[in-house]
Amino acid sequence: MNDYVNELYSKKDFLNDSYAMEFGNAWVWIHDNQSQVVRALLQAGMIKVNKEGRYLLDVNLASVDWPLRRKEAFASHIAGWLKHRFDIEAGRYSVQGKDHYDAIPSYETPLKDQHPFYNHTVNVDW
């Protein structure tokens, strides 16, 4: 996971489009927390669970000086890669004007299906 994200960061022209300068942060929202890969990422500290129980993969977008929309596009790309590589349903989750995942979201990818464990994970079992 880290190798793939670092490889994308190293490509200076990744998603090199014109973006409005908006401040905020984005994460990859993992829709199904029952995958073994997701459980391993959680134990490794790469996934944070926000106060609403969303499993948010932190790909360190707070450390890059990108506009919010570019961060959202990056998170969407990683979500697509997770689906292709591990068959994990994911989308993007972003907060405008803040860096913290518990702030009011500005955008989230809607769930395609209702997962039986969605939003019942506020008390994380670690």
Backbone angles phi, psi at 76, to 5 degrees: -65, -40
* DSSP-assigned letter for residue 117: T
Q: What pLDDT does 55 receive?
A: 93
| Tens digit of each residue's pLDDT, the chain (126 residues) | 778 777 776 765 655 566 667 889 999 999 888 889 999 999 999 999 999 889 999 999 988 888 999 999 999 999 999 999 999 989 999 999 888 888 888 877 666 666 555 544 445 554
Secondary structure of 15-64 in the HEC alphabet?
CCCCCCCCCEEEEEEECCCCCHHHHHHHHCCCEEECCCCCEEECCCHHHC
Q: What is the pLDDT of residue 36?
A: 92
Strands in 105-108's sheet, in edge-to-edge order, are 47-49, 55-57, 24-30, 90-96, 105-108
Q: Report which secondary-structure segment, H or E, holds 75.
A: helix 68-86
pLDDT at 37: 93
Residues 6+ apart with CB under 8 A from 67: 19, 20, 21, 22
Distance CA 14, CA 26 (A): 16
